[in-house]
Homo-oligomer: A and B are copies of this chain.
Amino acid sequence: MSAGHAAAAHVISAEVGETHFTVHIGDGQIAHLGSLWAERAAGEQALVVFDGNVAGHAEAAAASLREAGLRTVMAEVPPGERSKSLSELDRLCREAARAGIRRADAVVAVGGGVVGDLAGFLAASYLRGVRLVHVPTTLLAMVDSSIGGKTGVDLPEGKNLVGAIWQPSLVVMDTATLDTLPGRELSCGFAEVVKYGLLDSPELFDRVEGWPAPLPGPAGPLLDLIRDCVRHKLDVVSQDERETGLRASLNLGHTVGHGIEAAAGYERYHHGEAISLGLLAALRIAERIRGLDPAWRDRTRTVLERHGLPTRLDPEVRTPDILAAMGRDKKADSTALNMVLVDEPGVVLLRQDPPADMVISAIEELRA
């Protein structure tokens, strides 16, 4: 903790739905969590939800909260996607009840996407809604899952099938937590960063394209990069919280990506790796439907490869299985398969039900 770190932090004020909140991005921000929360909080307690991989960060967060005068209760969940279940939610709700958590108190989610999604749904549903603070400790959670209010758990029938839209009251991103993150997890987060480059503007794409290996990269520019990804997502989500239109653009690379992830049984590819492949497939389809300049796909492939992300599809993951998994996505969400396409970075459109042969050949070309 140092005043210098705090001074260098970015602060973004956001308004989504009826919720106003701030996002703080800086090196060493966890040490300031308590004072940032105490500035706005009426509550007296915090339930800190975390997994064993980030026990140290969770303890630092709790210490900062206690220093600011809050009582803290620690709730550890097992690491990994299997914790995103209704039975784990049940267990956490009972912990909240025994701790006497009230509506003005906070659930503080310290960790990556799994902890954030689970603790977020806990905050949305316990007492029909208590305050939520996100302390994302992975690059993926910082640029993506801690922003936008999507919370939820999985069913055996599919991922994220049960949940709520629930906005945090505060988000504190401490880039120091990225220093100990495994390289594979950093890469996965970077796949979403590449997505923002394509969605946002040629200017952001250029910065993403030039990002040096190894991740996470130089400290000052890293804060700016995360800030600009967060700003892009907040801008979209504030216009379309419940994904009736524009928000679907954030799914660039996710239509085919989810299909690959599911067809490979969620083991072979982590989420960001599947998105890496999905981005390339989406760009290929955009070339055929929209006449996107193929140079963008070449440049995207180069930057993905530089940061250790897959750009060739494992031949053992079969195309029919990918298509079947994409069909299940379609069934749950709407009557149509929605594909996000780009004309160039920053010019995005949604295309319902793209021709099946184009989707199939884009997947096949990932094997080349």
A contact set with B: CB distance below 8 Å: 86-87, 89-90, 93-94, 97-98, 100, 102-104, 121, 124-129, 150-152, 155-158, 161-165, 242, 331-335
Contact = CB atoms under 8 A, between A and B. Distances in A.
B86 A126 contact: no
A331 B100 contact: yes
A334 to B, nearest CB: 7
A93 B86 contact: yes
Contact of A128 (B103, B104, B152, B155): B152
Contacts of A103: 333-334
B127 A332 contact: yes
Given A102-B334, A334-B103, A335-B102, A158 B128 contact: no
Contact of A163 (B90, B128, B155, B161): B128
**How many copies of the shown chain assemble into the complex?**
2
Nearest to A97: B157
Which among A87, A104, A165, A335 has the greatest number of chain B C-beta atoms within 10 A? A335
A155 B97 contact: yes
User: 4 smallest A-B Cβ distances: which pairs?
Assistant: A97-B157, A86-B90, A128-B163, A93-B162
- Among the interface residues A90, A152, A164, which one has the most CB atoms of the partner chain B within 10 A? A90
B157 A94 contact: yes
Contact of A155 (B94, B242, B333): B94
Contacts of A127: 161-162, 332-333
A174 to B, nearest CB: 28
Contacts of A152: 125, 128
A150 B127 CA distance: 11
Contact of A165 (B89, B128, B150, B155): B128
B150 A128 contact: yes
A124 to B, nearest CB: 7
Contact of A102 (B100, B164, B331): B331
A264 to B, nearest CB: 21
Contacts of A156: 94
A128 B94 CA distance: 22
A164 B163 CA distance: 10
A310 B362 CA distance: 72
A8 to B, nearest CB: 36
Contacts of A157: 94, 97-98
